Structure 1
């Protein structure tokens, strides 16, 4: 019996070693993530190729027919459409640096990503920031044209909760100006903006796409948006400081600004970045009570101990 037990133990060790040397889990191969720079170059080439070979129905937007639904329609430039203006001549771009740490990659690099966008109809209002709540209709699709998500009615979106490239893209569009109520009980927004943006995967899901919806690893995403209204200087946590001002490092990512992270983790309060935290330094005094807001809405930040850190971010003040 002892000899048999020893043999079984040795066999178990061999099996364990084999499992540890196998790049699979439960029969599913574990593929290490690709380098960020490599994927960015590939995505950018895909987008450029698409923009050079496709156009949108810009003529309908310039001279809308009576029954026009103001929806952007993409098509290939070929044959009878050979003389159409390609998207590549109509898009604008913005460059966004992306750290490999965003996707927990081992290499420590920052790679510039290009977001492409265009306005088919410019809104008559202002533009939201990346930290504002915005009223949006949208449709998301792949470069193949396959739709993975859509919302045909306006919905409020707090942009920091969405893909980085999506929020950045929305901030380039203007919104409408007025809500009109129709006799049938519906409502519409006059002068809303309509546009489209092309997101490389580094500004989207990269190697961690949702389980449903048809998005694959490193897919480029295309969003058509109709921007209705936005809440200017959105203060999501109602602490008196607009969310955009809680992006302390000005990198366009609000989730990595968490002044009291170490205190939260040690005390078990969970992880609350400043734009979601009503007590940014976790000192027991609400942020709203450690700042001063005058009658015109201007904010000042007292520093009672003169150490260069304002009270609302200084647990020792």
Structure 2
């Protein structure tokens, strides 16, 4: 199963079929198959790299932030008075990401870390609080105002490639995103960043703020990790467009999308960092979205044990020693009425009634 959700939660992704003209023979339609995913990956990488080679971002402001700096990433073309700027290609990081549909296809996913963040790391099934701008990227050939072919004449034979970007989605105030419900490239990038160390904090005017050590970056997503040929209806994104997202990462919450008390990162049984391909009972619903993982008629949450440990740090209490089949899934810090620092640790125990090495919630023999 492949996630292809638009970033705005209120907009549902519509799968588009690209159709040719009607046939004169049968008054039907000829379905045009989508591009080869491997071949399109090569095209996408070239376009993204050309953009990175010809553009820069406001790195000087990030290096020496002015007093009123908003930490927004701004990108521009390397030309004219900006001809000596350092190109993005020399400042980005990259990682290899496998295609979710075809095992022999992989992508180079480029991302820029203007600020990594100093808070918590993000896991791939987490729910993140962010602001962002999403733009589509594509290559376009246009007439040039310089002698591109060096024939001594500026005419219609002088062409150049440009890389227009079009805004299709944005949130200027923090919003929550479930990383299992966004395009894969977005999810694959967010795990490289960290949150702020504190917040949210409500200000007198009602606005919500975070400490200014949050993560700030931009991702450059090939179409195979984006919408590929099936773009959201009304989005303005073209088929096979590459995507760019600038973002600020403020907060992250542990994901338990099916509310079965087994956090979703633990439902990645094969450990490949993808949540879509672990389906114990093969019912078409991956474990992270299945409240009865083994399909035995007993809910997963009824086949495990949960427990809360309350530890008074101020009084010198020690944290519990967990059993070999017991796992911490949440930790909350607070202050009690006496002013003592308290840590509440929530754990789950994966019981194995028949002692066959398979936890009850994944074992159809125990229900």
Does the alignment reach a TM-score above 0.5? yes
Matched, 1:159 2:166: no
Alignment of 1:1-317 (within 5 A): 18-19=25-26, 23-24=29-30, 30-99=31-100, 102=101, 109-143=103-137, 144-179=164-199, 180-190=201-211, 191-231=213-253, 233-262=254-283, 271-293=284-306, 295=309, 297=328, 298-317=347-366
Deviations 1:198-222 (A, max 9, x none): 1101111111111211111111100
C-alpha separation in 1, matches of 2:350 and 2:204? 48
Of residues 175-184 and 149-158 in structure 1, the stretch that sits farther from structure 2 once superposed is: 175-184
Following superposition, the deviation at residue 73 of structure 1 comes to: 0.7
Within 1, Cα distance between the matches of 2:32 and 2:361?
44
Task: Provide TM-score, normalisation by structure 2.
Answer: 0.71
> Once the 2 structures are TM-superposed, how far is the Cα of residue 306 of structure 1 from its aligned partner?
4.3
CA distance, structure 1, for counterparts of residue 354 and residue 43 of structure 2: 52
Displacement of 1:255 in angstroms is 2.6
| Structure ranking higher in strand proportion | 2
Taking structure 1 as reference, are residues 278 and 109 closer, same or farther at Cα in structure 2, changes over 3 Å only?
Answer: closer
Query: Does the residue aligned with 1:256 lie in a helix, a strand or coil?
Result: coil
Give the root-mean-square deviation of aligned CA atoms.
2.2
- Provide Cα deviations, 1:57-116, integer angstroms capped at 9, x if missing partner: 0111111223322211111111221211111111111111114xx3xxxxx652111111
Quick one: distance in 2 between partners of 1:115 and 1:19?
44
- TM value normalised by structure 1: 0.82
Q: Please give the secondary structure, in 1, of the residue aligned with 2:257.
A: coil
- Offset, 1:302: 3.1
Unaligned runs of 5+ in 1: 1-14, 25-29, 103-107, 263-270
* Residue deviations 1:34-74 (CA, integer Å, cap 9, x gap): 11110000000111111111100011111122332221111
Per-residue CA distance 1:219-267 (angstroms, 9 max, x = gap): 1100011101011x322322221111112223333233222234xxxxx
CA contact (8 A) 2:129 2:177 kept: yes
Query: Which of the two has greater helix per residue?
Result: 1
Task: Say which SS state the counterpart of residue 217 (structure 1) adopts.
Answer: coil
Using the TM superposition, give the Cα deviation of residue 138 of structure 1 relative to its aligned residue in structure 2, in angstroms. 1.1
Q: Is the 8 A contact 2:23 2:29 kept in 1?
A: no
> Any unmatched runs of 5+ in structure 2?
1-21, 138-163, 310-319, 321-327, 329-346
Cα distance in 1 between the residues matched to 2:23 and 2:180 = 44
How many residues are treated as equivalent by the alignment?
281
Alignment correspondent of 1:12: none
Alpha-carbon contact 1:119-1:196 (below 8 Å) kept: yes
Checking the alignment, whether the CA contact within 8 Å between 1:92 and 1:118 is kept in structure 2 is yes
Give distance in 2, aligned partners of 1:34 and 1:146.
23
The answer (yes or no) to whether the contact 1:247–1:253 under 8 Å persists in 2 is yes
**Aligned residues of 1:160 and 1:253 also touching (Cα < 8 A):** no
